[in-house]
Amino acid sequence: MSKKEKKPPGPFIREDFDLGLAMPSLKQFVVDDLKFRVYTLFDEDLFQEFKAAVIKKYGTFYPDETKKAVIEAIKMWIADVNK
């Protein structure tokens, strides 16, 4: 390419192209990747109690049920602190 020739302006994507519509799972991944995370280590006794409580309430112990239980506990704790 000679110096007089212009380089292409970048990726050849139309101005009206919406990546979120084209790849909704990629959009959701990017949105979720920006969210705040908390990681906690459980002692074995506390973990067994937590697992039993999740199974008692939701019937199974999978990531979805665990997440629901943790979110519920956090909301209850926030409400208790803000009283």
Query: What is the reported pLDDT for 27?
Result: 86
* Tokens matching residue 76: 């209850």
Residue with tokens 């020739």: 5
SS3 for 73? helix
Terminal CA-CA length for the chain: 69
- Please state the domain extents for the chain: 36-81
Predicted TM-score (pTM) of the model is: 0.66
Q: Give 49-72 pLDDT, tens digit per residue.
A: 999 999 999 999 999 999 999 999
Q: How confident is the model at residue 1 (pLDDT cuts 50, 70, 90)?
A: low
